Amino acid sequence: MPSKKELNSNIWKYYAAGILQSLWFILAINILYWQSFGITYGQIGMFELVGALAIILLEIPTGAVADLVSRKMSVFIGVVIAATANFIIGFGSTLFVFATAYVVWAIGDTFISGAKSALIYDTLKDLKKEKEYMKIQGRYHLYTTFALIFATAVSPFLFAINRRIPYILLGIAWLISSVFILKMTEPSRRASKYSIKKHIIQMKEGFNYSITHKMIRWYFLFSILIGLPMVLYNDLISQSYYINVGYSLSHLAILIPVIYGSASFVASQAHKIENKFGENKSLMIIALLHALGFIFMGILKIPFVIAFVILLYLSRDFRWVVMDNYVNKHVTSKMRATVISVGSMLTFAVMVVMYPLAGKLMDIFGIFTVLLGFGIFVVLSSILLFAIKPRLITVD
């Protein structure tokens, strides 16, 4: 049984690793990086497609590994693999190499996604502080905001010096962060000897739990439908959009930190906001801000539209924190990482279709038309989701 001191140290190590992993030197320039090699939106969509396929295949199996073997080691392995992917991109030059890097990064993500939040949630549970989970995540976002602001502020200048520098530096930061992960203590859980049979049973039970539990099923549906356009915007469009509405590369050194810094600060206060409004109103606010953001971004073609971009990112980061908390509250410890991985897998199953489709639509119709379509999609999805929510919230 880990000591209280050891478990408490997990929290500051979690913060330290998060700060290093938030040095996203690529965030302000990644789409520009691809375009510097002559890569189109459609081809970027294909990169995302192959990465999504890898996640679909491996998300649940790696989540089950985290639950059965070690969440700490799962996160550690994932971080090292993701760091490697950054080095591959930073030194690569061809479509094949970049696509390979996306697959490698996706593999790393599958080891991290379910295990990371499960590791810290069960740490708090052992400390009898699980009710502080959203507060801890809020602090995490606050501390990592400073690293994010710094990285996004300097990345355009690093890109101007040498386009490869941002990816290489991010890879180094993630490798260093893996040391803090390795030093964390695994929360107490039932000892279980690993076997293929147990692995298969764990995956099956985790998947069944996710699709039969009414609340978790609805949360996953909400995250997918409301979050889908935002993922596409962030991964395929964002930097090109800023250039199209009148900003320059040098402006991104200020613009990106303001956007992500503001969003991360709001995420750090998510526990206070959610406590004030409650679950239903919080979810309605998220849906409303997503819809309004995309509609105005599709209509307006002036620099002032950045105000709606900021609102969009505020609602996205707030959504991340509250949805993570809602799901964790409804999942038993023995399958926590597996169930969270199911949610990620379902999301990427949708993205497999949407990445290349969105990329092709942007090549054909342009950014603004697609963004307006995103807004309409969120409105219609919100109406559907809240119409069926009463049925899904019945107690199991």
Residues 103, 54 contacting (CB under 8 angstroms): yes
Average pLDDT in the 53-74 region? Answer: 83
**Count of C-beta atoms within a 10 Å radius of residue 194:** 11
Which pTM was predicted?
A: 0.76
Provide the pLDDT for residue 392: 42
Q: Which one, of 18, 52, 19, lies nearest residue 236 by Cα?
A: 52
* Residue range of the domain that includes 318: 4-184+204-392
Task: List the alpha helices (DSSP H) in 92-185.
Answer: 95-126, 133-161, 165-182
Residue 332 has pLDDT above 80, yes or no: no
Q: What whole-number percentage of the chain has pLDDT above 70?
A: 95
Band (297; pLDDT cuts 50, 70, 90): very high
Cα-flanking dihedrals φ and ψ of residue 303, to 5°?
-55, -30
353 in a domain, yes or no?
yes
Residue 153 maps to which CATH number?
1.20.1250.20
d(CA 349, CA 293): 25
Residue 380 has pLDDT above 90, yes or no: yes
Provide the pLDDT for residue 138: 82
Q: What whole-number percentage of the chain has pLDDT above 90?
A: 46
Q: Tokens in use for 304?
A: 């002032």
Give the three-state DSSP class for 274: helix
How many separate domains does the chain show?
Answer: 1
Residue that the structure tokens 């649940």 belong to = 60
198 in a domain, yes or no?
no
Provide the pLDDT for residue 149: 87
Q: Tokens in use for 19?
A: 């700060």
Provide the pLDDT for residue 199: 66
98 in a domain, yes or no?
yes
197 in a domain, yes or no?
no
d(CA 170, CA 182): 19
d(CA 198, CA 135): 34
Band (328; pLDDT cuts 50, 70, 90): confident
State pLDDT tens for residues 110-169: 899 878 888 998 899 889 888 888 888 888 888 888 898 899 889 889 999 999 999 999
Residues 73, 207 contacting (CB under 8 angstroms): no
240 in a domain, yes or no?
yes
321 in a domain, yes or no?
yes
Band (193; pLDDT cuts 50, 70, 90): low
State pLDDT tens for residues 64-79: 777 777 889 999 999 9
344 in a domain, yes or no?
yes
85 in a domain, yes or no?
yes
